[in-house]
Each structure stands twice: as structure tokens, then as C-alpha cells.
Structure 1
Amino acid sequence: MNDTICFDFRNQGKDMQENKDVERREVEEKRNSSRVQATFIKYFAYILIFFGFLYFLVRYVFPMLR
């Protein structure tokens, strides 16, 4: 008895491709220079206000405490 086993490999590749869940991720580089400039101006204003407040304390408030 010569038993041969035949497999049908034609649809196996298609089934394997259909069963795969592929998640695609797109990475966008943020190059919005106006947003960077606005942030820089905002933090520069914070620093300027902070040093202005310190100047006010040193110049006017501390001499009154003596």
C-alpha cells in the first residue's frame, strides 16, 4: 500500500496574510516654529516678571525693613 498525503498550499499563504493584524503608526515631526517662538516669549515674560518682582523687593521693600 502506497499512501501519499497531498496538501493544498495554495490558500495557506492567503489565510495567513488575512489573519495578521497589522498596526501602522505614522510619526509626524512637529516643526511648527511659530509655536516654539510663542512658548519662548511666554517663558521669557515669566522670567522678566520674576526678576522685576525681585528688583522691587530689593529696591523698595527691604530698605523699609531696616
Structure 2
Amino acid sequence: MTAIILRCKRCGRKMKYSRKADPDLPTNVATIESSACDRCGNGDFGSETWLDADGLEVSQDIYDDDGEVQS
């Protein structure tokens, strides 16, 4: 998969995002859904959800330099 779909939950706007721009994203992420986009948001920090091709949520675990999940 060479592109990820970015989708806004609030207005439904969609756009393609090059996987090369963020190579650390897990390979099974097909869509990144945000709580608001730059057009409909009010400037605060929103949240995002990573989804696979089947629409199931992908874990956003944070890893340390050794590749271990941080608690």
C-alpha cells in the first residue's frame, strides 16, 4: 500500500497521504481518522484513530529505542 487515506470524522473530508512521508506507521494502517481537520477544526489538538483495511482499530503503542512497548 503506497498511500493512506486521511479522513475527518467531523466533516467527512478525505485525502490521500503518502506512506513514504511517515515510514514508521505500521504497514497494516490503511486509514487515519481524525476528530477534526484543518478546515473544520477550531485549532485545538484533536485525536486520531488508526484503522486497517477492514476498518478495525490498529494499536498506537509507543515503542522505545529497543523496540519494546512502553507502559
TM-score normalised per structure 1: 0.14
* Larger RCO (alpha carbons 8 Å, 6+ apart): 2
Structure with a larger share of its residues in strand: 2
Rg larger in structure: 1
Task: Give the structure with the higher percent helix.
Answer: 1
